[in-house]
Structure 1
Amino acid sequence: MVSKASRSGNGQQTGLSARFFQKLTSGVPGVLFVYWVSSERDSHRCPFISEHVQSLFGIEPSDLSDNADPIFAMIHPEDVDAVMESIRASADTLKTWSYRARLMLKHGGYEWFEVNAEPERQPDGSTLWFGQFHNIQHYKDLEQSLRESEAEFSFQAGFQRLIARLSTEFINLGFGTIDQCIDELLRSIGLFFKVDRAYLYCFTEDYSVMTNTHEWCRDGVPALIDTQQQVSIENFHWWQEQIEGMVSGSRVVFIEDVDRLPREAAPERALLQEQGVSSMFCVPIRVRGRVTGFFGVDSLRRRTWRLDQADLLIIVSGLLSGALERNRLEEELLNQSIRDPLTGLHNRRYLMPRLDEMLGRSNRRGERFALAIFDIDHFKKINDSIGHLGGDYILQRFADILVSQTRSMDVVARFGGEEFIVVFSAVEHGDVRQLVQRILEAVHEESFIFDDEEIPVTVSAGVAGIEEFVDRPATPDALIAGADYRLYLAKQAGRDCLVDVSGTLRI
Structure 2
Amino acid sequence: MASKSATDNLDFSGLFRELASGVPGVLFCYEISADASTHRIPFISSRVRDLFGVSPDELLRDASELFNIIHPDDHDAVGSSIQQSFQDLAPWQQQARLRLRSGEYRWFEGHSVPRREPGGSTLWFGQFTDIQAHKDLEFGLRKSEAEAEYQLSFQQLMTSLSSDFINSTIGDIDDKVQTFLARIGEFFGVDRVYVYRFSEDLARMTNTHEWCREGVPELKGSQQQVDITGFHWWQAQTKSVLKQNRVVFIEDVSKLPKEAVAERELLEEQGVAAMFCVPILIRGVVEGFFGMDSLTVRSWRKDQSDLLILAANLLSEALERHRLEQELLNQSIRDPLTGIHNRRYLQPRVEEMMSRFQRTGEGFALAMLDIDHFKRVNDTLGHQAGDRVLQEFGRLLQEQFRGTDVAARYGGEEFVVALASASHESARQALLRILERVRAMNVEFKGRTVPVTVSAGLVHVVDLRPGKLSTDAMVTEADRRLYKAKRSGRDCLVDASGKSRL
TM value normalised by structure 2: 0.91
| 2:260 alignment partner, SS class | helix
Q: Which residue identity does 1:213 align to in structure 2?
A: T
In 2: Cα distance, 1:221 partner to 1:111 partner: 40
Q: Which moved more, 1:244-253 or 1:154-163?
A: 244-253
Q: Does 1:30 align with 2:33?
A: no
Per-residue deviation, residues 182-240 of structure 1 (Å, max 9, x unmatched): 11111111111011111111111111111111111112222222222222223434333
In 1: Cα distance, 2:83 partner to 2:453 partner: 106
Per-residue deviation, residues 161-198 of structure 1 (Å, max 9, x unmatched): 11111122222323322212211111111111011111
In 2: Cα distance, 1:32 partner to 1:458 partner: 108
| Equivalent residue in structure 1 for 2:336, among 311, 336, 341 | 341
Once the two structures are superposed, the pairs formed by residues 123-202 of structure 1 within 5 Å of their partners are 123-202=118-197
Q: Is the 8 A contact 2:366 2:419 kept in 1?
A: yes
| 1:41 alignment partner, SS class | coil
In 2: Cα distance, 1:495 partner to 1:78 partner: 92
* Aligned position for 1:461: 456
Residues 14, 138 of structure 1: alpha-carbon distance in 2 compared, 3 angstrom cutoff? farther
* Aligned position for 2:92: 97
* Aligned position for 1:485: 480
In 2: Cα distance, 1:378 partner to 1:385 partner: 11
Residues 404, 15 of structure 1: alpha-carbon distance in 2 compared, 3 angstrom cutoff? same
Q: Is the 8 A contact 1:346 1:414 kept in 2?
A: yes
Per-residue deviation, residues 286-305 of structure 1 (Å, max 9, x unmatched): 00000001001111122111
Q: Is the 8 A contact 1:246 1:291 kept in 2?
A: no
Deviation, 1:386, is 4.4
Q: Is the 8 A contact 2:246 2:309 kept in 1?
A: no
Residues 148, 408 of structure 1: alpha-carbon distance in 2 compared, 3 angstrom cutoff? same
Residues 70, 490 of structure 1: alpha-carbon distance in 2 compared, 3 angstrom cutoff? closer
Q: Is the 8 A contact 1:34 1:47 kept in 2?
A: yes
Q: Does 1:16 align with 2:11?
A: yes
Q: Which residue identity does 1:496 align to in structure 2?
A: D
Residues 92, 492 of structure 1: alpha-carbon distance in 2 compared, 3 angstrom cutoff? same
In 2: Cα distance, 1:407 partner to 1:80 partner: 72
| Equivalent residue in structure 2 for 1:444, among 430, 433, 439 | 439
Deviation, 1:74, is 2.5
Q: Which moved more, 1:336-345 or 1:248-257?
A: 248-257
Per-residue deviation, residues 307-340 of structure 1 (Å, max 9, x unmatched): 1111110000100111111111111111111111
* Aligned position for 1:282: 277
| 2:11 alignment partner, SS class | helix
| 2:194 alignment partner, SS class | strand
Q: Which residue identity does 1:128 align to in structure 2?
A: L
* Aligned position for 2:370: 375
Deviation, 1:457, is 4.5
Aligned-residue CA RMSD in angstroms? 2.5
TM value normalised by structure 1: 0.90
Residues 393, 269 of structure 1: alpha-carbon distance in 2 compared, 3 angstrom cutoff? closer
* Aligned position for 1:414: 409
In 1: Cα distance, 2:446 partner to 2:67 partner: 105
| 1:205 alignment partner, SS class | coil
* Aligned position for 1:293: 288
Q: Which moved more, 1:323-332 or 1:430-439?
A: 430-439
Q: Is the 8 A contact 1:250 1:284 kept in 2?
A: no
Q: Does 1:208 align with 2:200?
A: no
Residues 433, 44 of structure 1: alpha-carbon distance in 2 compared, 3 angstrom cutoff? closer
Residues 148, 325 of structure 1: alpha-carbon distance in 2 compared, 3 angstrom cutoff? same
Q: Which residue identity does 1:435 align to in structure 2?
A: A
Once the two structures are superposed, the pairs formed by residues 301-380 of structure 1 within 5 Å of their partners are 301-380=296-375
Q: Does 1:270 align with 2:265?
A: yes
| 2:171 alignment partner, SS class | coil
Query: Which structure 2 residue ranges, 5 or more long, are not aligned?
Result: 1-7
In 1: Cα distance, 2:451 partner to 2:81 partner: 105
Q: Which moved more, 1:153-162 or 1:63-72?
A: 63-72
Q: Which moved more, 1:81-90 or 1:285-294?
A: 81-90
In 1: Cα distance, 2:237 partner to 2:55 partner: 62
